[in-house]
C-alpha cells in the first residue's frame, strides 16, 4: 500500500497561546474580571499574562479555535497530516506556541510580525467557571500576501481539504475566499465553522460571500439560531435551519453540501443538500463526574470530523469520529487531548 502523502489538511484562523491557571476571587478582582466571561483585553488587563505565567501553575496550550481543531485532526491522523496557518509575533509567546504545537506533531506556518505581540488568551479558572481575556495581537494581522507566498501556496495546492474557523472573518476574508476558490476549482472539500453567533450577526457580508463554496458547514445550536435570525429565515427548529444551510446556492456542484449542527449532549443534526431527511446522531454518554471542561468541545468535534473526511470515511463515520474526540477532550482541562495518545475505535463508543 502506498504511503499517505503529508499535510493533506490545511487549516486557517487565529493562533493564540492559551495561558490557563486556577485562580481565586482576589485574582479576578485585581483585573476587574467576571468569573464566567470572555472579553477582549484592555490596557488594564495586559499584565495578567505575565502574572499567570510567573505566579500561578499555568498550563500552556496552543489555542485559537481552529488551531485546537488542527491539533485534534492531527491527533487522529497519521504523522505530518495537518498544517495550520495564522499570524504570530516574534517573541517568547510565539516560541512557547511553536514548542506546544511541536509536541503534538502539528506543523504551523505563521505570518510573523516582529512589531506586534503574539495573541494570548488568559484563562482564570475558579471552580467550574472560566474567565477568558484575549489579546489577538499578531493574529489580527494575517494577510493574503502570506497565503500567496510561493512556499505557503505550495502547501495549499498540496492539501486535499481545507478547514477555516469563522473567527478569521474578523481578520482576513480575502484569504478565506482564495482557499474557497481553490477548493471549488480543484474539487477539494472546503469545511467551514461558523464559530460564534456574533460572526453570523456582525460579519454577515464576508460570511455570505464564502457560503457558495461551503462543502461542509459546522455550527452549534446557538450559531444556527443566530444565522437564522440574522438572515431572516424565520426558523427556530435546528433541523430546519440545518436544511436551509445545506440548500444555499453552491458553486461546486460535484459535491452536495452537508450542514452539521452540534447541540451539546443532544443529538448532532446533519442535513444534506437536496435530501429531505435530516439525520440525527445521538452523542455518546459520559458520566458527569468524568467531565472536566467543556471548553473546546466544538473545536474537538470539528477536528475528529475533519480527520474522518480527509481519510475518506463515510459521513456517518466522520460524525462519529468528531463525537469520539469531543468526548475525550471534555475529560481534559481546556481544549486538550489525552496522552498517551488514544486510538480511534468505532466500537469503543457504540457499544
What is the crossing angle of helices 65-76 and 315-329, to 10°? 110
Residues 6+ positions from 347 with CB-CB distance below 8 Å: none
Please confirm, yes or no, whether 293 is among the known catalytic residues: no
SS3 of residue 227 by DSSP: helix
C-alpha cell of residue 253: 456542484
Report whether 199 contacts 167 (CB < 8 A): yes
Per DSSP, the residues of 26-63 read HHHHHTT--SSEEEE--GGGTTHHHHHHHHS-PEEEEE
Which of the following is catalytic: 18, 215, 293, 299? 299
Could you give the residue ranges of the DSSP H alpha helices within the chain?
A: 25-30, 48-55, 65-76, 92-103, 144-148, 150-158, 173-186, 197-202, 204-210, 221-230, 238-246, 297-310, 315-329, 346-350
User: Cα–Cα distance between 37 and 40 in angstroms, integer?
Assistant: 10
Give the active site residues: 299
Amino acid at each position: 500500500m502506498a504511503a499517505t502523502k503529508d499535510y493533506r489538511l490545511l487549516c486557517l484562523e487565529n493562533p493564540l497561546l492559551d495561558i490557563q491557571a486556577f485562580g481565586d476571587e482576589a485574582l479576578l478582582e485585581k483585573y476587574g474580571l467576571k468569573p464566567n466571561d470572555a472579553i477582549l483585553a484592555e490596557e488594564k488587563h495586559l499584565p495578567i499574562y505575565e502574572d499567570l505565567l510567573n505566579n500561578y501553575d499555568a498550563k500552556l496550550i496552543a489555542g485559537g479555535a481552529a488551531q485546537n481543531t488542527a491539533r485534534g485532526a492531527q491527533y487522529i491522523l497519521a504523522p505530518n497530516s495537518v498544517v495550520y496557518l495564522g499570524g504570530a509575533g516574534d517573541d517568547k509567546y510565539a516560541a512557547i506556541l511553536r514548542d506546544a504545537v511541536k509536541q503534538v506533531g502539528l506543523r504551523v506556518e505563521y505570518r510573523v510580525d516582529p512589531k506586534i505581540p503574539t495573541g494570548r488568551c488568559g484563562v482564570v479558572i475558579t471552580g467550574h467557571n472560566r474567565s477568558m481575556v484575549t489579546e489577538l495581537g499578531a493574529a489580527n494581522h494575517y494577510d493574503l500576501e502570506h497565503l500567496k507566498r510561493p512556499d505557503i501556496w505550495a502547501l495549499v495546492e498540496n492539501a486535499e481539504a481545507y478547514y477555516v474557523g469563522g473567527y478569521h472573518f474578523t481578520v482576513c476574508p480575502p484569504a478565506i475566499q482564495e482557499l474557497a476558490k481553490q477548493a471549488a476549482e480543484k474539487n477539494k472539500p472546503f469545511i467551514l465553522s461558523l464559530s460564534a453567533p456574533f460572526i453570523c450577526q456582525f460579519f454577515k457580508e464576508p460570511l455570505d460571500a464564502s457560503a457558495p463554496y461551503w462543502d461542509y458547514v459546522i455550527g452549534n445550536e446557538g450559531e444556527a439560531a443566530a444565522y437564522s435570525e440574522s438572515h431572516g429565515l424565520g426558523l427556530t427548529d435546528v433541523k430546519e435551519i440545518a436544511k436551509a444551510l445545506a440548500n444555499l446556492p453552491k458553486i461546486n456542484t460535484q459535491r452536495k453540501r452537508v450542514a452539521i449542527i452540534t447541540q451539546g449532549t443532544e443529538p448532532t443534526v446533519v442535513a444534506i443538500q437536496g435530501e429531505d431527511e435530516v439525520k440525527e446522531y445521538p452523542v455518546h454518554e459520559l458520566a458527569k463526574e468524568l467531565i472536566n471542561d467543556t471548553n473546546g468541545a466544538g473545536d474537538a468535534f470539528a477536528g475528529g470530523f475533519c480527520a474522518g473526511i480527509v481519510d475518506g470515511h463515510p459521513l456517518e463515520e466522520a460524525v462519529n469520529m468528531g463525537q469520539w474526540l469531543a468526548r475525550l477532550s471534555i475529560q481534559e482541562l481546556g481544549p486538550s487531548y489525552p496522552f498517551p495518545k488514544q486510538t480511534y475505535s468505532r466500537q469503543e463508543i457504540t457499544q
